[in-house]
């Protein structure tokens, strides 16, 4: 659908009782589902408008001087920006290190892309401190981190898969060790050392698995003890899970793909895209929280597949009754928005 000049001129700066009235005014039939979404996107090319809260009304605020560029079918701003920024990042690192591979932890990659801010990883292991600062229920914080980290990590790995399918990179999960300031892929022997020490300390702490360590807020103590023994016994300063990304040696292939994605980034464009991506992440997380709260309000709880998958993970961590209690609390959405602001929003300063 593309609006004609006559259709555009038939709409006025005013409040319409619903989208059906707008469609009737311009002489088209209101669609449903994806068709309706497409109609709203087309309307947004020509007008700035907003939905009136708690009603079906739509308020047209202004007519654009120039229509927005039409978005191609299949274009995904979220995925495309992440692809672009990952290519830009590994291209920069390849130039600096003069190597065709990089090791990046999930936390470092999320921060480098501005999908989280500097508070995110610190408070992930300092939930008690975050609770004192915000007065948000610890269970809400644990749920927020569990779901957010899982979703962001899945997004990263889906994007890496897309770049692999384009023959731009190989990637896999890797255990990385730091020895004398040099980061390298752990050897089989080093992995064996790490597993041995981890298990011994878990037994001493009476903890069954790594997830329980995080939930019981013992991660800092655990990792300190493991690293101390690794350093004393095997000269390994520390270790971490990372993505090993091997880059196509033909640097022109990466540059060509970046051009296909619109831009080779200069410093200003890089900052602009990071802010744009950060805003998309904030919006998605807020919508996800509203969806979970709305689902909890309905007694029949006809969960979609995504909610069922999320619930299974969180119930395993928190328990079903606890999950139902925190999601039915009237402060649930407000608490999630505050966590988004403190831990995701790029504009938020580092909290000491």
> pLDDT tens across 169-215, in order?
899 999 999 999 888 899 999 999 999 999 999 999 998 888 778 77
DSSP 173: E
Question: 52 with 61: CB under 8 angstroms?
Answer: no
> pLDDT tens across 209-267, in order?
887 787 777 888 899 999 999 999 999 999 999 999 988 766 566 666 656 654 456 77
320-327 and 305-318 are packed helices; what angle lies between their axes, rounded to 10 degrees? 120
Question: 212 with 71: CB under 8 angstroms?
Answer: no
DSSP 299: S
Question: 169 with 245: CB under 8 angstroms?
Answer: yes
d(CA 312, CA 284): 21
- Specify the pairing of strand 101-104 against strand 47-51: unpaired
Q: pTM (2 decimals)?
A: 0.70
CA quadruple 5, 9, 15, 19: dihedral, nearest 10:
-30
- Specify the pairing of strand 182-185 against strand 58-63: unpaired
332-343 and 138-165 are packed helices; what angle lies between their axes, rounded to 10 degrees? 60
d(CA 264, CA 256): 9
Q: Does 109 score more than 90 pLDDT?
A: yes
Cβ of 214: how many Cβ atoms within 10 Å? 19
- The C-alpha angle with vertex 256 and arms to 253 and 262, in degrees rounded to 5, equals 145
> pLDDT tens across 11-46, in order?
999 999 999 999 999 999 998 887 888 888 888 888
Say which residues have a Cβ less than 8 Å from residue 147's Cβ, sequence separation at least 6: 288, 310, 313, 314
Question: 30 with 43: CB under 8 angstroms?
Answer: no
């Amino acid at each position: 659908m593309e609006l004609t000049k006559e259709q555009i001129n038939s709409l006025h700066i005013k409040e319409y009782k619903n989208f059906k009235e707008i469609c009737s005014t311009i002489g088209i039939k209101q669609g449903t589902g994806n068709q309706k979404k497409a109609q709203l996107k087309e309307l947004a090319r020509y007008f700035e408008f907003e939905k009136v809260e708690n009603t079906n009304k739509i308020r047209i605020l202004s007519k654009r001087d120039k229509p927005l560029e039409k978005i191609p079918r299949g274009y995904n701003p979220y995925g495309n920006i992440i692809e672009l920024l990952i290519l830009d990042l590994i291209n920069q690192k390849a130039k600096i290190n003069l190597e065709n591979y990089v090791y990046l932890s999930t936390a470092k990659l999320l921060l480098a892309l501005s999908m989280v801010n500097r508070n995110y990883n610190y408070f992930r292991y300092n939930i008690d401190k975050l609770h004192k600062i915000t007065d948000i229920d610890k269970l809400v914080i644990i749920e927020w981190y569990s779901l957010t980290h899982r979703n962001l990590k899945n997004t990263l790995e889906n994007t890496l898969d897309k770049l692999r399918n384009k023959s731009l990179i190989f990637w896999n999960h890797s255990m990385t060790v730091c020895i004398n300031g040099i980061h390298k892929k752990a050897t089989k022997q080093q992995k064996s050392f790490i597993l041995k020490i981890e298990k011994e300390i878990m037994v001493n702490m009476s903890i069954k698995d790594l997830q329980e360590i995080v939930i019981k807020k013992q991660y800092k103590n655990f990792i300190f003890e493991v690293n101390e023994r690794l350093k004393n016994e095997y000269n390994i300063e520390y270790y971490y899970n990372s993505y090993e990304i091997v880059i196509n040696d033909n640097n022109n292939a990466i540059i060509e793909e970046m051009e296909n994605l619109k831009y080779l980034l200069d410093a200003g464009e890089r900052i602009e895209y990071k802010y744009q991506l950060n805003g998309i992440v904030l919006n998605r997380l807020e919508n996800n929280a509203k969806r979970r709260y709305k689902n909890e309000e309905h007694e029949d709880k006809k969960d979609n597949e995504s909610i069922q998958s999320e619930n299974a993970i969180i119930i395993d961590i928190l328990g079903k009754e606890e999950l139902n209690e925190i999601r039915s609390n009237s402060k649930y959405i407000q608490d999630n928005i505050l966590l988004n602001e403190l831990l995701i929003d790029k504009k938020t300063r580092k909290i000491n």
